Each structure stands twice: as structure tokens, then as C-alpha cells.
Amino acid sequence: MSVISASAVKELREMSGAGMMDCKNALKEASGNLEEAIDILRKSGIAKARKKSGRSAKEGLIFPYIHPGSKLGVLLEINCETDFVANTDDFKDLSKDIAMHIAASAPMAITREEIPQEVLDREKEIYAEQARQSGKPENIIEKMIEGRLNKFYQENVLMEQAFVKDPDKTVQDMLTETVAKLGENILITRFVRYQLGESAENSDPSNN
């Protein structure tokens, strides 16, 4: 079996807009051939999802999820292009899965751009101090900070988190697959996560 390089996966992602695991699987199926992998993604509809990402999404749902025991809940706004798609089982299932994921994983924001700068600055200071205490040179420290920040994003940004029901995929991968299946742009707009005894964690920085 041919070994699929990370650079090949990255190139296919940039060309198709598909998720990492979808690209990796397509390349495996195509024995590493980039053009054949693109064809595989196109046939599945995943490659078309990127083209839909700029389209207006004004319909959708406010989806409520209450975790068993009634001590943890999520309100999620998820948008699509038409009321018809908003009422499909696939869209409702996606909404439920993402709301359950938010309840379990407690993301700080939907995208990395929504993480407050002061939070990032604090994380950078901590990483830099830890690296200096270990005696690393400055040029290595910068690379370590970048690596730690990427891990921070993967742990705290909703779209980059490993999906709780399928850790081989990110939430973004799940969204892309559903866009490909339903043929409409889908956006996770905002969420509020409530935990009994704690203040609400709101993904919308404008409300903080």
C-alpha cells in the first residue's frame, strides 16, 4: 500500500476544500494519484462543498440540547440556505450532533479568529516561559510556541476539534460532508453552553 504524505493531503485539501480524512481516504483509494483523488471527491460531492461556502445562509434552526440529568445544555444557531433543508432529518441530525459535541467538548469559539487576542497572548507567554525554563534557544522557542498554539486551537476551536462521535474527523469535516450531501451552504453561527452553577460560555465574542 502506498504511503500518503502530509503534503499530498494538504495539496488536495487546498484544491478541493474537502476535509483532511476525506482527502487522505481519496488519495489511498487513488493510490496517491492526485487527479484520480479529485475525481473521487467530485463523485462523492465533497469537492463541490467548497464552492457553496460563500453562498448566503439565512434559514436554519435554533437547536436546543439538554444533556441527561438536566445540568448541562446548549443552544445552537445553525444556518442553511432554505427552509426545506432546515427541516430535513440530515440537517436536524447534524444540529443535534454538533450541539452534543459542544456540550461534551466545551469549545471557546467557532473559529480561531474568534479567540480573544488577550487569551492568545497569555497562552504564548506561558508557552515561551516553559520553553525558556527548559533551556531552549529563541529560534526553537518560536517554533515550539507555534506548535503549542496549533494544539491549543485544535483543543478549543469548535471547527478544529476532533468530533466526539468520530475522532478521526473534525467538526469541519462533518460540516463539509453534510454540505456535500445536502447541496447547500451550512454555517454554525453561534452557540451558548450552560452548565449548572457556572456562568454561560458564549461563542459570540460580541456578547462578552
Q: How far is CA 149 from CA 107, 125, 163, in A?
A: 15, 11, 19
> pLDDT band at 75, cuts 50/70/90?
very high
Cα(76)–Cα(97) distance, rounded to whole angstroms? 11
Domain boundaries, the chain: 6-51, 55-110+157-207, 116-155
Beta 201-202 vs 187-195: how paired, if at all?
A: antiparallel
Cα(82)–Cα(101) distance, rounded to whole angstroms? 24
Report whether CATH 1.10.3470 matches the domain 116-155.
Answer: no
Cα(22)–Cα(177) distance, rounded to whole angstroms? 9
Q: What pLDDT digit, counting tens, does each position of 29-55 carry?
A: 888 888 888 888 877 766 555 555 556
- The position carrying cell 462543498 is 49
Question: Contact, 173 vs 158, CB < 8 A?
Answer: no
Cα(16)–Cα(10) distance, rounded to whole angstroms? 10
CA-based torsion, 80, 189, 178, 73: positive or negative:
negative
Residue type, 148: R
Range name among 53-62, 66-75, 86-95, 130-139 with the lowest pLDDT average: 53-62
Helices 89-105 and 171-182, axial angle in degrees (round to 10): 170
Q: What pLDDT digit, counting tens, does each position of 99-144 carry?
A: 999 999 999 999 989 999 999 999 999 988 888 887 777 778 888 8
Question: Contact, 127 vs 92, CB < 8 A?
Answer: no
Mean pLDDT of the chain: 85
Is pTM beyond 0.75? Reply is no
Q: Tell me what percent of the residues of the chain surpass a pLDDT of 70.
A: 88
Q: Which three cell numbers stand for residue 10?
A: 494538504
Q: How far is CA 49 from CA 65, 100, 173, in A?
A: 27, 24, 11
Cα(108)–Cα(157) distance, rounded to whole angstroms? 6
- Give the CATH class of 55-110+157-207: alpha beta
**The CATH number of 6-51 is which of 1.10.8.10, 2.40.420.20, 1.10.20.60, 2.30.29.30?**
1.10.8.10
